[in-house]
Amino acid sequence: MKLQDTTKLYGSKRDSSEQRRAFTSGQVPVAVYGLGKMGLPLAAVYADVSENTTGVDIDPDVVEAINDGDCPVGREPGLADLVSETVDSGALEATVDSAAAAAAASVHVVIVPTTLRENNEPDLSMLQAALEDIASGLESGDLVVVESTVPPRTSADVVQPLLAEQSGLDPDEFGVAFCPERTASGSALQDITQSYPKVVGGVDDESTRAAELIYEEITDNDVLPVSDAATAEAVKVFEGVYRDVNIALANELSRFADEMGVDVTEAIDVANTQPLCDIHLPGPGVGGHCIPYYPYFLIDQFATDTPLLRTAREVNDVMPEFTVGKLVQGLERNGTPIHDATVAVLGLAYRPGVAETRKSPAKPIAARLSAYDADVVGVDPVLDDVSDFELTPVSLSELSECDLDAVVIVTPHEEFDDIDWSAHDDLVVVDGRDMLEDGAISHAVYTIGAGWDVPKP
């Protein structure tokens, strides 16, 4: 299929330079579905490049804020300015009317969340809902790009058939490509446009070509076309799985610290000076919307067994329990039973400086401490709502007024550097992130990976 329509890229017979000019001059309308922490930065970049982007979200408050030139996603350098600029210029607008956006767009970019059900099965319901809306306005020559992380073969086995069935088009009349988002909260704009090569893979060669053309305009970095969409999907999942397995290795090694009398984190740092070694660092658990989820996009999704991935998940999932166990051990040494203890959990977000609690290890840590009948307080300077944690929130300034017996450092926000540890007597501190330097405070400290540092009486 070859098209003359200047608004279409898939199947176009125009010269690639003409297609690029059309895309960057507003002739090719773009719709970005999902305006969350990753979606809004992507929509803003698309608007800046294409000059004709509509962002779609189900939350009317998000849409209203964006259309007012405000940025509902915080702690993203440069994003507020870019949203304001692109809205003011007319390059970006937002809507809750996904069907209207789909009918107007020629390029559809989907970046809605993909999570897990309670049984750890991938939940693609939000992706499927977005695809159904796209199908209602899909036309011949349109290109659909999926950036939401999905199990390999989703584009070919789910996305393309669903779009074809509900739009009434033949599969070769529209394009489907996968381009994994490779962004992190706090550096989204830089990651989209500069930090990493963009990976693109289509369900057919023409889909790959059209997606490659677009992303060569979106990023200043390289664009890496791969064999097909399934390969591109695997790239994203493999990146997350690698980190999960590597962190599990570090966590398992960290548990040798007491028996060996070795600072395992020091040994890891030195071992990593060998170019073939790249062990990550241990911690109290693995959080976020990526690493804890993506192994399950492979586990039980194919006939191939995955014992290593399962074991890595088990190792990482048990670290909150291990962390609390070390705290209980330290309190017993001080003669304080856990059920009589007041414990502060420092850092409830899963990552420093990022207001996101999904799969944060602080949740099971707080829950386990509460189950022991400890009095648990929590401090996090980047979060406004911690109602889903089993603890009492206190501000950082109120911490010194708490009669604490113990502290668990889960997420080392930079604000914690100013804590006055001398305001508390005879604490037990479990440092899950190696935040405290040796001997920096006059309390008993257990550092995951390094073991106990107990001041001499």
Q: Which residues are catalytic, by number?
A: 236, 290
Alpha-carbon Rg for the chain in angstroms? 25
CA angle 133, 229, 218 (to 5 degrees): 75
The C-alpha atoms of residue 111 and residue 306 are separated, in whole angstroms, by: 28
Helix (H, G, I), strand (E, B) or coil at 92: strand
**Cα–Cα nearest to 200, from 210, 192, 214, 212:** 212
Q: Which helix (H) or strand (E) holds 43?
A: helix 39-50
With CA atoms as reference, report the closest residue to 407 among 438, 428, 424.
428
What is the helix (H) or strand (E) element at residue 345, kind and residue range? Answer: strand 342-346
Tokens of 403: 């009669």
By CB atoms closer than 10 A (0-12, 13-18, 19+), residue 420 is exposed
d(CA 51, CA 322): 52
| Helical H segments across 388-446, by residue range | none
Burial environment of residue 367 by CB neighbours within 10 A (0 to 12, 13 to 18, 19 or more): middle
Tokens for 57, please give them.
Answer: 């979200």
Phi, psi at residue 323, to the nearest 5°? -60, -45
Question: Residue 406, class by beta-carbon neighbours within 10 Å (0-12 exposed, 13-18 middle, 19+ buried)?
Answer: buried
